[in-house]
Structure 1
Amino acid sequence: MSFALVKYMPRTSIGFIRLRFASLVFSSLLMIASLGAFFTWGINFGIDFTGGVQTEITTEGPADLEQIRSIANGLGLGEAQVQTAGNENRVLVTLPLQEGEGLEGEQAQQTARQALVQAMTDSVPGVTIEGSTTIGGAVSGEMVQKGGLAIGLALFLMLIYIFVAFQWQWQYSLGAIAALVHDVIATIGIFSVTQMTFDLATVAAILTIVGYSMNDTVVVYDRIRENLRKFKKEELANVLNRSINDTLSRTILTSVTTLLALIALYIIGGGSLRGFSFAMIWGVLIGTYSSIFVAAPILLFTDVRRSAFEDEEDSD
């Protein structure tokens, strides 16, 4: 016998739509603050985007991060980033991209890599060099372009999908894309404020956030479409509110179970997965919020038409 937890969730009648103006103000301030943080502090790009040298080492006991950072900074090759990678005796040491063009630049990266490996071997007791990677400026620049292109393409394809799935009604596409843009900007803002490393894993997390948020939004929109057919005489605001409450138990259960896994990943995943798991945790929270307080109210602000769904019901 299956156990459907959703059946045991209490039915709610929360007035989400009554809070639409407050949520509009909050979301606007959040986006302005996020963009302000981005243009003020920028983003702490990882080696994937900036280029440089990254060496992975292991120590016999718990690594002394301050000692390792001091040794790396003492090379005079720029400010080093030092973080654990999975456990307390595995460490990633990253030096910034060295100056130089073409072959000169490649030689500078190799020289920095050799100096870093030698310094770790000579100065850290019981150290083992697990591997060392160099990424040049041309490769890192290409990563920036491809990362931005991936996010932009994902948003565009989502726009087309919603436009087709909801009978060519632009209000649904506008609401869904507004929620997605809201989530992406808010995520960039939180990385600007925290200055956590932003790398390719973070881009993967943002793309996952786009999919998660869109899935949440489609569930709410699909229930709105059903209720627009069912309650033809009811005011649009009431239909939207009813639909959000109908799907609230599903939204809460999905978000909570996802967050439990992500929090565990953040705690025990180590430094290499911390940016990814942090972005995902923030994305689940902000994506759940935007599906309820951004995507749905936009249908009311734009006065979505009922006629398309009434015609569909008649044809059935």
Structure 2
Amino acid sequence: MRNFLSTPPNIDFLKIKKFGYITSGTLVLISLILIFIKGFNLGLDFTGGTSIQVKFEEKINVGNIRKATSYVGFKDVQIQEVGKEGKEYEIRIPIKYGSSTVIYKKVKKALDEFFKGKYKIRRVEYIGSVVGEELRKASIYSIVAVMIAILLYVGYRFEPVFAIAAVIPLFHDAILTLGMFSLTGYELNLSVIAAILTVLGYSLNDTIIIFDRIRENIKIRGKKNLLQLVNQSINENLARTIITSGTTLFSVLALYLFGGESLKGFSFALLVGIIFGTYSSIYVAGALVVDIEKYIYKKKVQS
């Protein structure tokens, strides 16, 4: 293990770059089909609904609150702890279950039945569908803005070839992550969008480090054998990639398994995004540098 960390291996990653393109293209196509045909399980942030904040007299298990809401017919509610005492929770119920007044009456009935009045409703808030529509647009704009900013930053720091090769994998990662949400039916809300943006930054960081090594090697050896040079650069950063991605993956996996229902979507987005992001940094970004250099700029590259 120590030898592996100190001495870079000699793995020919780009030998299967065509297979990588086919695999990524197929997964992206399947994800887009799922997104447009099946769609998403949109959360309260995007669809609208009612938020009820309740404080109990003693510590309450979130599972008992879920049983209470299920008792009055609310199956897919979002329950989130407020504070650290385990006594206060926010219950978020989608707009499909009716008006704020109807939902409030049913929730109060359920709480009375299960908790015998040992609680206090602190706040009832209605989120309209217009606000949800605005949040959906804002989420799309934020992802697009991040992509444009990254394109400009990488183009300025490196050169246009690297900028294009960095941004395409980010679209790849974002689409595949969204496709997994469509497939699994996990709720898509603002916390998930935040997780996707986090993943894009994480993936870009790994890609930039590889690009930095490619640029250093180009200064030493030139671009005559770019395919071999990119392979060498990926191998030189492989130990770092395995250590950082591995430790992050285990941390996020623990969050997914033990973080509770309210963190499922957020941690799932991070989990899937880290896997796809690490894959795209190695098999997509590096391969694109070689092929964009070859086909757009018409330079002779040994393949």
- Which band: TM-score by shorter chain? 0.7 to 0.9
Where in structure 2 are the equivalents of 1:1-316 lying within 5 Å? 8-55=5-52, 60=60, 63-64=63-64, 67-73=67-73, 80-82=75-77, 85=80, 93-97=91-95, 109-126=99-116, 128=119, 129=121, 132-166=124-158, 169-232=159-222, 235-303=225-293
Displacement of 1:244: 0.4
CA contact (8 A) 1:147 1:203 kept: yes
CA contact (8 A) 2:80 2:91 kept: no
Displacement of 1:131: 5.1
What does residue 104 of structure 1 align with?
Answer: none
Which amino acid in 2 is paired with 1:95? I
* RMSD of aligned alpha carbons: 2.9
CA contact (8 A) 2:69 2:107 kept: no
Displacement of 1:132: 4.2
Deviations 1:117-164 (A, max 9, x none): 322223324564575442111211111111111111000000000111
| Counterpart secondary structure, 2:188 | coil
Between 1:127-136 and 1:229-238, the stretch displaced more is 127-136
CA contact (8 A) 1:44 1:198 kept: yes
Quote the Cα distance in structure 1 between the aligned partners of 2:62 and 2:146: 41
| Counterpart secondary structure, 2:237 | helix
Quote the Cα distance in structure 2 between the aligned partners of 1:7 and 1:28: 32
| Counterpart secondary structure, 2:52 | strand
| Counterpart secondary structure, 1:228 | helix
Quote the Cα distance in structure 2 between the aligned partners of 1:222 and 1:110: 54
Quote the Cα distance in structure 2 between the aligned partners of 1:287 and 1:301: 20
The answer for unaligned runs of 5 or more in structure 1 is 74-78, 100-107, 308-316
Displacement of 1:50: 0.5
Displacement of 1:189: 0.2
Quote the Cα distance in structure 2 between the aligned partners of 1:271 and 1:204: 17
Residue correspondences, number? 288
Quote the Cα distance in structure 2 between the aligned partners of 1:250 and 1:6: 14
| Counterpart secondary structure, 2:41 | coil
CA contact (8 A) 1:54 1:95 kept: yes
What does residue 310 of structure 1 align with?
Answer: none
- Name the TM-score, length of structure 2 as normaliser: 0.84
- Name the TM-score, length of structure 1 as normaliser: 0.81
| Counterpart secondary structure, 1:95 | strand
Quote the Cα distance in structure 1 between the aligned partners of 2:124 and 2:27: 40
TM-aligned CA distance change 1:268 to 1:90, over 3 Å: farther
